[in-house]
Every structure is written in C-alpha cells, then in structure tokens.
Structure 1
Amino acid sequence: MMPIFLTTDDVETLEYELIPTSARVKLTRLLGRSVNQLPIDEPETHSHIRFLNRVINKANNLVERPIYVLESDYWGHYSAAEIAWHESEFEVCIRRLDAAQFIEFLADVVEEHLLELDVANDLLVEADSSAKLRKEQSGRISVSIAPLAGNVALDPEANPNLRTLVSRMDAALKRGDYADALGNSAQAIEVISKETMGTPSVANETFGSYFEGYKNKTGLPAEVVDWMLEIYKRRNTEPLASHGQLEPPQISGEETALIVEMTKALIRYERWSSTNNVTATP
C-alpha cells in the first residue's frame, strides 16, 4: 500500500497496532446505514449498487485486490445476482484491512463525506487506536498518530494495545529488564489471542482458561500455541515478571530476545490471518 493520508513512518509505527474485528464490523454497519437509505431499484441512477461498488473498490484498492468494474446490461439495469454479490462483498471487504489500511480507508470515506468526522474519531477511540482524524482548512482530512508515552509501564491501570506492548518489550530488552519484557510478552499473547477468539465471553478470562478454544481456532501450529502457554505461565513464576519478589530473575538476555521476536512474529501472523480469513486446519 502506498498511503496518501499516512506517512510511510506512520505505516511502520502502526505495524503492531490492533484494530479489533468489532471496530471493522461497526464501520461496515455505519456505512450500511447509508446504503439502506438508497433505493435498490432506481433505473435512473442505481445509487444503491453504485454506492456498494464504490466502497468495495476503495477497500480492495488498499489490499491490492482486483477492482470490480460495474457494468449494466443493455437497458442500463443490474441483475439480482449482481446486486447480491455486491451486498455480500460489502460485508467482508473492510474486514480484510489491517490497522494502517483501516485508517487510510476511514480517512478516505470521511473526506468523501460518506461518514461524519466525529463518528470516525469516536470509532477510533472505541478501537483504542492511536490515530485521530482532523479536517484541515482546505477541507482535506489529515491523520495524526499519538506518540507512545515515555514510560508507559508506570501506569498500572492502563489497558495497552499491541503497539504499546511491543514498545514495552523492546524497551525492556534494551535496558536489560528481561523479566519485564517477559511480562509484556505474556500480555501481548493474551491480547492477540482474545482478538482471534472474537467472542465477548473471553474478554475477562485468562489465556489458560480459553487456551484449548484458541488452539482449535488459530491457524498456528499446535507446538507454537503450546509455547505461547508456557510463556504465559512463566510470567507468573519468573521473579519480577508480574509480581514483586525478593529473588532475582533467572531469564537470560538471549532467551528474552527470542521471546520478544517470537511474540512480534505471532502478532504479525494473527493480524495477517484475521484479514485473510485463515482458520485452524482440521
């Protein structure tokens, strides 16, 4: 993707930001309200199917999927099958977008007056995104990405997104606080696994309580998921990883570096699989 609202640095910054599936579904529903206000059978303009086609192609452009060229029959009408395909594709096209693509798409539909600016920003807040849309004097939409706080680990009440947790892991590894890096890895595993599960019932549960369900749903190999559980459990036993203890941590720098990089790889994979509808192999 070559962004026009984000900078290339912004895209890199958003690599580990998570846009929940629920936010992508809500955006689809918000745009669907506009669709539902348009008449389906309107021979003069066919505004219903043209709106669907417009949104679908905007989303497909961002993921470099083929563009659907809408063509009517000889009399300027569209078949029921054509309309049905567009209605189905409309429901899934936004789900394919990763964080950067989602924000590009959101800025695009706001700039083209398909969605109100305040509604879009409210959605970003609900998604715990670090992005915010602004309207310039020219009428164009711009995007700002909030920088990470200096020592975000000091806020025990924080509900960090993946971007924050990855930043914490990297910072802890760099300063030699290997136990802290392990703790943040365990949090990241819990966040991404809950998003993969995609059900409110696990929102307040521990990773161990829904581990088998996650193992059956993710496309990751069973051995990798077992390793994730080991890291999650170790967070509770490693000194200073999550609880104050008198003993010094036993985890080494080499092992921590592997855990940090493996956690990043897991995040990237689950993000990719969620936008490509990948599920576990039977």
Structure 2
Amino acid sequence: MTDRFQQNEGDRLPGKVYLVGAGPGDPGLFTLKGKALLETADVVVYDALVSPPILAMVNPQAKLLPAGKRRGYHSLSQTAITELLIEQAQQHTTVVRLKGGDPFVFGRGGEEMSDLVAAGIPVEVVPGITAGVAVPAYAGIPVTHRQLSSSVTFVTGHEAAGKYRPEVEWQAIAQGSETIVIYMGVHNLPKIVQSLTAAGLAADTPIALVRWGTRPEQSELVGTLATIEADMTATGFAAPAIAVIGQVVTMRESLAVCRPVLQTIETGTLLPGLKVPQGSATTTGHLATME
C-alpha cells in the first residue's frame, strides 16, 4: 500500500464503499439490497459488463463513473480504480462499486476491499449471483446432476501475471471435477482445451459456450473439446462468454422447454451514453440464439 492510498487528514469522516455484485445481466437476478443501494447512492463506479437495465436503477442524482475492464478495453487500471474509490469516499457518504456477477468470484473484489481497509475506508460487500451458476442455468445446463456430476470447479481463463502459482493446475481439475466452468476463457480456449486433453480429459467431452448469458442477446455454441475451436472459427463466436465442460452439457436440449424467458431491454430507460451489446444476427451450425 503506497502513500497515495492513505486517507487524507481532516475533520470529515470518510463515507462507506459498498462492493455490490450486479449478477450476470438479467435485472431480475439483481439483489434487493443492491437495488436499494443504487437508489440511494451518491456515486456509482461501475464495470463494463454491468447491464444497462441495472444501471437504469441508479439514483438520478448520483454520479456515474465508468471503470470497466474487458480484454482490449481498459478504461482504468486497477490501481486507478482503488484511488478513485478512496477519493469518492472522502467526498461522499455512499459509494457503490458495482461489479458484474459476484465481487469475490474473479471480480477482484478481495483486492479492492483490502486496499480500502488499509486506507481506513469503511467497506461492505453485497454478494451477487455469479455467472458460473446463472448463465449455464439460463442455457438449460445444470452444473450438478446426481447421475452426471457431483462436483463443479470454477476456473479463470485469464490469470494474473504475478500470481504466486502462475499456472492453473489443469491436471488436478481434469481428474478431480466432473463439471468445469471457465470464466473469461474464450481468448485462451484453444490452450485450455489442449491442457485439459493432455491431462486426460476425453476429446469427445461436451462443451458449451454461452455468450451474454441471461441477457436478451444470449447465444450458445455447443460442441466437444475436439470440435469447439473449429466451431468458434466457423460461427465467429466471441467473448464475453462462459464455458461449461462436462456431461451436464448433454442436458441442454432436453431442458430447453424449461429455460427462463429473457427480459427485453427497453431502450427508453437507458441512461445517456450507454450502449446495448449486439447479439448474434444469425444461427449457423451449432450456434443457437435465444429468442
């Protein structure tokens, strides 16, 4: 922790920062506590993957500050985000740090909370529904099933360079988990598939990629470890997406009738400058677009 993170001296006590999980996208999955905080916040610092309908819940008088990070689009560094949160907490009573999914599941919430605590800023976490559970469910894929899978492992496909163990232990994952859910793994998927098959996972193991899961533009690409790279190339399938690997993927077609109805985004409620991400325009090969 450097000096720039330390609380400024003065009579005013700092406000409180809430690390709020926005869930995977469907506004109906956002928590009541999170909604109440958005409606009363002075400042909302939000990530790139937070859906527009959730941002539309923000107090109209609140200051909205984008701080999103996606591959190739980094509006602020992690250090700058922490500095921004400290600065806003020193000036305002209620600061919401709005993060996609759950703050503590590959959301760097633990890092932000540690920095805020070290700077003397009051902070609280409000969990959200993580994409690794909700997105497969909206695609008709249960991550566990008594006859197919008694274990599930969440893995990041995008690791930090300075991590104490620089590599995911794919051997242990391939041999120890019946369902594997990979976050942020589309760009590195060929390498991940190679690592899993080298670790003993069968090439015909089913895999599903779900893009913009739980949103109206949700689309899915289903194949096997042997075919998925070619399928991605043929369909132009791109991030952001969750990958689900395992026999539970075979449940997708039989459970299609049970899928939730995806909520339509009413563009009239969007805040100025917010854009709705575009879904797939066509259905090609194994690519399925939710209607």
Q: TM-score, normalised by structure 1?
A: 0.35
Structure number having the greater helix percentage: 1
Structure number having the greater strand percentage: 2
Larger C-alpha radius of gyration, 1 or 2? 1
